[in-house]
């Protein structure tokens, strides 16, 4: 496995190399947002994440990264949507992967009949094809993963590790993905507050969930306690050997 892009937004600014931000009127993009501000923030998001605030009507806010025509990619990102004001049958772009001048795939936030969904558009068999998720909820963590594999000529998308749809690219993969966008743009009514984190790209396999290793609190050992423990240990050893402690 070779992870060639791994953005966790920790520390000041970005960890990876990005092309630059596009921030429309009334919008904001904060790569140093505190995860503690999110209701029920996941502990493996650590301290910081990307916060995207968009404003209607249709103003965009996003950042972009450039790749050198990656033919085989496995994408992973996690998102929490805390608020939205989408109109009926309205959709906005969250993640966008581009071939040379056309989309490879796009992940949208979509509303219809008062329910929110993820809508996945994948360019295969020579044209874009759309697939919709089950209804999603606000203030809920979702892990989105996408396979775009030119070698095996396959695509697949997952939500929280569960496959949603898959199939063959059928000669739609050339020359490989070269630009990636993350944020919110498009749509008529696209006011929303969305958090993104753990954005990763791999060229060999699924990235999956991020292992979480909690930090352990520092343990201060009292010196008198340590001496008492040494005496107890000597006493037990002596009893085991039927000896007398002097």
204-234 residue pLDDT tens = 999 988 776 554 444 343 444 344 444 444 4
The CATH code of the domain that includes 91 is 2.60.120.200
The pLDDT of residue 159 is: 97
Q: Residue 74 falls within a domain, yes or no?
A: yes
Highest mean pLDDT among 101-110, 157-166, 170-179: 157-166
Q: Residue 241 falls within a domain, yes or no?
A: no
Q: State the sign of the Cα–Cα–Cα–Cα dihedral 232, 238, 239, 240.
A: positive
The pLDDT of residue 212 is: 60
Q: Residue 235 falls within a domain, yes or no?
A: no
Domain range spanning residue 124?
A: 3-202
The Cα 39–Cα 59 span in angstroms is 26
49-82 residue pLDDT tens = 999 999 877 788 999 998 888 889 999 999 999 9
Q: Residue 207 falls within a domain, yes or no?
A: no
Average pLDDT, the chain: 85
The pLDDT of residue 88 is: 87
Q: How many domains does the chain have?
A: 1
111-155 residue pLDDT tens = 999 899 999 999 999 889 999 999 999 999 999 999 999 889 999
The tokens for 224 are: 């008198």
Q: Residue 210 falls within a domain, yes or no?
A: no
76-110 residue pLDDT tens = 999 999 999 988 888 889 999 998 778 999 999 99
CB neighbourhood size of 150 (10 A): 19
Q: Residue 73 falls within a domain, yes or no?
A: yes
Q: Residue 113 falls within a domain, yes or no?
A: yes
Cα–Cα distance list, 170 to 69, 135, 233 (Å): 18, 29, 70
Q: Residue 220 falls within a domain, yes or no?
A: no
């Amino acid at each position: 496995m070779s992870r060639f892009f791994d953005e966790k937004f920790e520390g000041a600014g970005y960890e990876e190399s990005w092309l630059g931000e596009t921030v429309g009127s009334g919008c904001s993009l904060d790569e140093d947002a505190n995860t503690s501000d999110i209701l029920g923030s996941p502990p493996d998001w650590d301290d910081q994440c990307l916060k995207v605030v968009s404003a209607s009507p249709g103003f965009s806010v996003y950042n972009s990264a450039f790749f050198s025509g990656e033919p085989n990619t496995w994408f992973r990102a996690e998102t929490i949507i805390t608020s939205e004001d989408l109109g009926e049958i309205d959709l906005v772009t969250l993640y966008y992967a581009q071939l040379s001048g056309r989309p490879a795939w796009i992940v949208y936030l979509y509303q219809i009949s008062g329910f929110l969904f993820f809508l996945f558009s994948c360019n295969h068999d020579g044209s874009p094809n759309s697939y919709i998720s089950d209804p999603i909820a606000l203030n809920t963590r979702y892990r989105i993963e996408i396979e775009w594999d030119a070698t095996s000529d396959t695509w697949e998308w997952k939500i929280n590790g569960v496959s949603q749809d898959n199939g063959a690219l059928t000669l739609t993969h050339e020359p490989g993905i070269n630009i990636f966008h993350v944020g919110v743009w498009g749509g008529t009514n696209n006011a929303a507050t969305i958090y993104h984190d753990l954005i990763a790209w791999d060229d060999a396999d699924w990235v999956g969930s991020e292992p979480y290793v909690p930090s352990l609190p520092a343990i201060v050992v009292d010196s008198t306690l340590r001496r008492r423990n040494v005496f107890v240990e000597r006493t037990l050893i002596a009893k085991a050997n039927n000896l007398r402690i002097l």
